[in-house]
A and B are shown apart, each in its own frame.
Chain A
Amino acid sequence: MATAESSIGRRAERVAGGRSRGSLRLETLLPAGLTVLVALLVLYPMGMVVLGSFWSAAPGQPGTLTLENWRSVLGDSATFEVLLTSLVIAVPRTLLALALATIFAWCIARTNTPFKRLLEGLLVFMFFLPELPWVLAWMLLGAPNVGLLNQWLGALVPGGEGLIDVYSYGGLIVLGAARSAPVLFLFVHPALLAMDATLEEAARMAGASAWRTVWRINFPLLLPALLASGILSFVVAMESFEIPQLLGTPANIFVFTTRIYDLAYGGHVANFGAAMVLALILLVLTGSLIVVQWRLLRGRAYTTVSGRGFKAQPLDLGAGRWIAFAVILGFFIVFGALPMVVLLLNSFMELSGFITWEMFTTQHWANALGRDDVLKSVRDTLVVGIAAATLGVVVSLFISYVVTRTAWRGRRVLDMMAWGPWAIPGLVMSLGFLWAFVWLPIYGTLWVVVLALVARGLPVASRFFTGTMVQLSAELEESARVHGGSWLRTFLRIWLPLLRPAVIGAWILLFVIAVRVLDVVVLLAGPGVRMLSVDIFLWTVTGRQEAGSVLALIQTALVIVGYVAVRLIARRTLQQSAH
């Protein structure tokens, strides 16, 4: 670590060496300005959460400073019971998701599994599916006895209708893992592709069988990446709300987040203070895990002398390659296609869950497509999504630059701040955003939603860029400066083109998050701003799933259109710049 520190410092000295004396320039103003901006986006709302935990009323309301919230939460045995339940669900959920993601990524990256590109595409597609309608589709599929899957199973085997129960620990874990696995795949797959193939070949030459090579070489090499993404996924599992609320509470399974929701919204009198305390306990837990993850990555980021780039010979699985194909395809069919088909069918039914010909109707589609407010929702969602993704990319790009490429003293603080929104459940962060941003003149406009989404996206996007920037040699930048490039020109002409793949990836990720995310925007999407995710939530949670299904399908289409559009634009600009 000491060496990493000093090398960063050394690089930055050289960069700073080109500065003309006395004048304030963009490169010197940037870190400070950025810190102020990130503090406004992250620290200010989080400060509101902390204040809320010590305030006898909601922040902004008349009240007094008090320790009562902390005392009551810490003195309540239920706090620790729900924490334990959360762990009991989140740990196996994460392990299962990690195992699935690693196996899928390995099969696709390193074996001769057929139709790899297709399988990869299907897994990426699953990442785009909105959570809430997906869970609702599973409630229709997996309700004990009456769920569609259970009915089919019952028709196959006597007593089969009792086999699946989504309202259970098993349901929470398996469905949660099915949600997390495609996301983890997106992290693990590139790591596997980037791994130096000769390391594997060297093990084979040293007498290790294919399986021993996987176990002794691939797996340990992948371990830092697995641990890092596993921890992120675990944090997400701990903060997950929709799945435990919809599937857990009917089975009397109560987790940390449903408890927070209960305290904040469930009572006659909103107990925001206690909810904030719970959120901060979760923050300490997840925050320390993130610190652990930093340590892991910093100490064990392997850089190896790269070989001549021989593409590794994919491992021949023999007949097993069709099994691998079938397993991944099966995963997609069960957890991706099936719920989407149910969603699609549902959107054509008079009544959600009663899927028969007699109930067929197109009125929900006609309603949705012909209505101004749905069009407004689509428009607002698109505007917010594009603005939040673009702004988020710019801000996180600068953050990553300052963190990895300068010696600015506050860079660690900046890095840490950018992590904040990941460590607090969106449920609570949304209150923080509300209390913080209601004072800004832009409250009530699209822009406040955009700000909140930028904040929410920072941890993901800045991680994305930091990973790429660390790999790029400082000399690329230094030579540009030596040859007369200003800091800004260097940034635009050297960094941006070099980071283009990361920029595109991060933009898509942020866009997907912005279009899909619910908790952050639910309190901010007030008058004048409509978000599809909030509409879907309201329609589905209160029982109008048919219309909700329509909106969910529109939302999914939006995300996919955005993804494809960016891909096409990226390809076109690549071709143009090649001329």
Chain B
Amino acid sequence: MTAIRVAGLRKLFGGAPAVDDVSFEVESGSILTLLGPSGCGKTTTLRMIAGLERPDAGEVRVGDRVVTSAEQGIHLPPDKRRMGMVFQSYAIWPHMNVFENIAFPLRGPLRGKRRPEVEIRDKVMTMLQSLGLEGLHDRPAPLLSGGQQQRVALGRALIGDPDVLLLDEPFSNLDARRRDEMRFELKEVQARVGVTTIFITHDQSEAMVLSDRVVVMNAGRIVQEGTPQAIYQQPSTRFVMEFLGQVDQLGARVAMAADGSPRARLDGAGDVEVALDASHPWRPDDEVILMLRSASVRVREPDGSHGWQGRVLSRIYLGERTEYVVGVGAARVRAFGSAIQLLDEGALVQLEFPAEAIRAWPAARPVGK
């Protein structure tokens, strides 16, 4: 079932569109991630969903309710949308203690009724427990650590039993170790509560870990949408491929094979070729950009076969494994090798990677799908 439907959202800042024609749907109970570099419009999109920003065009539906529609002039205030939100800064109210911060959504005349104090206390205490914040209920908010603030923010966002949970880069203020922990914790809590969630991040690994679906945005527009695997394995544009992981770019030119199928021939390494998508109208000698995901490339000693061979230019010992820079023709390729068997600089090596780790685009424009 579709819980949230966003259609044609558009927001102008000073005449220039910050968000343009953004549409997507979120399945009930799933996590959708808006992924993109800073300034891509993902936060503005989230704020329009939250009701903190008014779109210039488009609409947002939650279930069967239209919460925002520029065309119909509907703009439900944020407090009427039954959403919970974790802000990037957490926005923990410094004049309240932990308990009051979390209890806040329960104290309003939400949905026309006022909850008894006992019920509020029970709910908040349960929430504190599930967040691992037992015993901190009367701590003043300014005395909390970053991780604690984040949990309080999460508790506050969830306690009112919202239809939608909005997360605005909730991990960016945490150190790396806490970040990893909190990712799993969040995923667990979300799965338990089953709340439909929209998550914002500029960190592709966060998106991969947490999301059911990912929407990649750039310059205010959606570039690609899909499951994490689909996006990672079939990036539709160079931008997406680059954004989703470390990539080496290799210059190549189109050459037709004997059977007429198009191949990309690596510059300066005549015998290294990659098959090209035959549905694209390639012309011989067209410039091609090859993009190779470093993480998938392995180094081993050459076995005499032709193909991706080069010399080790430099070596970085990382403990768990070893990173090499290998010169292949005119290009430099990063690749990984075993931590035990080290190859020396200057050694001839063979590169190995699965077919989907390399993709080719014409130099001027991306390949059509």
Please list the residues of chain A having a beta carbon within 8 angstroms of any beta carbon in chain B.
196, 198-199, 201-210, 212-213, 216-217, 220-221, 223, 300, 302-308, 310, 313
Contacts and interface: CB of A to CB of B under 8 A. Distances in A.
A212 B88 CA distance: 23
A204 B93 contact: no
A205 B104 contact: no
A207 B110 contact: yes
Given A205-B157, A313-B53, A198 B89 contact: yes
A209 B79 contact: yes
B93 A205 contact: no
A313 B78 CA distance: 12
Interface in B39-71: 43, 47, 50-54
B108 A208 contact: yes
16 contacts: A198-B89, A199-B93, A202-B87, A202-B93, A203-B104, A204-B51, A204-B79, A205-B85, A207-B160, A208-B105, A210-B79, A303-B142, A307-B89, A308-B43, A308-B89, A310-B43
B279 to A, nearest CB: 43
B95 A207 contact: no
B36 interface: no
A35 to B, nearest CB: 33
Given A302-B94, A304-B89, A305-B173, A204 B142 contact: no
A217 B54 CA distance: 22
A202 B52 contact: no
A206 B104 CA distance: 7
Contact of A201 (B87, B142, B173): B87
Contact of B52 (A204, A300, A304): A204
Nearest to B169: A308
Interface string B65-108: 00000000000011100111101111111111000000011001
B52 A201 contact: yes
Nearest to B149: A305
Given A204-B77, A206-B160, A302-B95, A307 B87 contact: yes
B66 to A, nearest CB: 19
A313 B173 CA distance: 23
Interface of B: 43, 47, 50-54, 77-79, 82-85, 87-96, 104-105, 108, 110, 142, 146, 149, 153, 156-157, 160, 166, 173
A420 B109 CA distance: 49
A199 B85 CA distance: 12
Contacts of B110: 207
A202 B167 CA distance: 12
B156 to A, nearest CB: 6
B92 A220 contact: no
Nearest to A312: B52
A217 B88 CA distance: 18
A199 B88 CA distance: 11
A340 B104 CA distance: 48
A204 to B, nearest CB: 4
Most buried by A among B52, B82, B88, B142: B52
Contacts of B43: 308, 310
Contacts of A221: 93-95
B85 to A, nearest CB: 4
Nearest to B94: A302
Given A206-B105, A207-B108, A304 B157 contact: no
